[in-house]
Structure 1
C-alpha cells in the first residue's frame, strides 16, 4: 500500500478538512492508498509520497536538505501554491522548490476562451505531458506559473495558447524534477485542483491520483 504523508508542520491546508477535501480522501482510500497528516517533519521519511499543500512557513535549509535526500532515495514530493503571491505563498514555496530547479513566479494566469463556467481564472487545458494517458483535460483554478531552470525538470501541464500570464511568463503550470534514482519533486501553480469543487471536473480526479502515486 502506498503511504502518503500530508505535511501540516508548515501550516498547510489539512486534508481532514471535510468541506474541502473529503472527496480526495475518499478517492485515495478507494485507490488503495493511505494518507496521514504529519505534524513532525522528520516523520515524512516514513512515507512514499510527501505533500505540501499551501505551506505558509518557509523551509529552513536543513529541511530542504532533508527533502532533497528523500527525493534521492526515490520518494515523490509535491508542493502546491496559489496565484498572486499576496501572502508570499510563491516566496514560501520557492524556499524549497528552487533546490530542484523550479521557481514559482507569483503570477496570475487567465484564459478568456478555455475556462470553466465562463470564469477566466478557472482555466482549462488539454496540454498535458508525462502523465497517465487517461488524463486529457484538467481545470486549474487561480494558478501561478512556474519557471524551470534545471534540465532534469519536465513539464507536466502547460496552459493553452489562449491563456495569458499577467507577468508575461510562459504558462508552465505543473512541472516535475526527476532524479536519476527515480525520485520526483513536483510543483504545481495551484493547490485547489483537488478540492471538493474541482476534483470531479474533467480528469482532475485521475490527475490528482496520478500525482500522488508517481
Structure 2
C-alpha cells in the first residue's frame, strides 16, 4: 500500500457526503491518522485520479459511458472502487448500485436483512455478525445496519455474511452482506449492502473501525 492512500468520496451522483460531519467526522479523522486521505470529489473524471473511489448511497443512475469508465478504472487502471447500497431499495439505490456491480458478478437485492437475536438496541435491522471472512485482521464482530442482501454470480468473493440467526425477508439464512471482485492486475470492486456501517454511530461499535480501515486499505 502507498504511504498515503488517496480516496475519492464521490458527490457526483447525489451520494451521502463525507463532508457531512454529523455522519462521517469520525471516519474522516480516523482515516487520516492511518495515512488515508479522503477527499470529496464532485467532477466524475477527477474521481479516477485517486487510488480508491467510494460511491456511498448514489441516488442518481450512471450512464453507460460512466459505467464503462468505472470498468476501465478497475480492470485497466487497477483502481479500487467501493459501492455502498441500502435496504429495501430506498431511493432506488440498490438498483443503481447493481447497474454497475453486475459487471463484476454481483448485485444488491432490493430486499432487507434482519436478526432478532444478534442485533443492537433491540432493532433487528441493526445486525451484528462475526462472519467476517475478509479484511478481518484484528476483527471479531461488526455491526452492519440496514443492509441489503448481496447476490454473487461470478468469481466474486464473500467479505461479510450474516450469522445463522440472520435472515432475509424471503427467509434465506446467513445472507451475504458484502462481496468483492479482485482482479489479477490489482484492481478491485467491492459492493456493500449497507451505507451506514461507517457512520458516526456504527464506527464506534464492536470492531467496525478496524474493519473499515482494513477495507479501505484493500488488497494493495
Q: Distance in 2 between matches of 1:161 and 1:169?
A: 10
Check conservation: 2:128, 2:144, Cα contact below 8 A. yes
1:79 alignment partner in structure 2: 83
RMSD: 1.1
Check conservation: 1:145, 1:169, Cα contact below 8 A. no
Cα deviation 1:55-108 (Å, max 9, x = unaligned): 001111111111111111221110001100142111111111111111111111
Q: Distance in 2 between matches of 1:199 and 1:189?
A: 16
Taking the TM superposition and a 5 Å limit, the aligned residue runs for 1:5-84 are 5-72=8-75, 73-84=77-88
**1:52, CA displacement in angstroms?**
0.2
2:168 alignment partner in structure 1: 165
Taking the TM superposition and a 5 Å limit, the aligned residue runs for 1:89-108 are 89-108=93-112
**1:178, CA displacement in angstroms?**
0.9
**1:168, CA displacement in angstroms?**
3.7
Q: Distance in 2 between matches of 1:32 and 1:175?
A: 25
Secondary structure in 1 matching 2:97:
helix
2:117 alignment partner in structure 1: 113
1:178 alignment partner in structure 2: 182
Relative to the length of structure 2, the TM-score reads 0.94
Q: Distance in 2 between matches of 1:135 and 1:176?
A: 18
**1:210, CA displacement in angstroms?**
1.5
Secondary structure in 2 matching 1:88:
helix
The one of 205, 210, 217 aligned to 1:213:
217
Secondary structure in 2 matching 1:212:
helix
Give the 4+ runs in structure 1 shifted more than 6 A.
none
Cα deviation 1:147-173 (Å, max 9, x = unaligned): 10112x000000000011003446100
Cα deviation 1:186-211 (Å, max 9, x = unaligned): 00000000000110101110111112
Unaligned runs of 5+ in 2: none
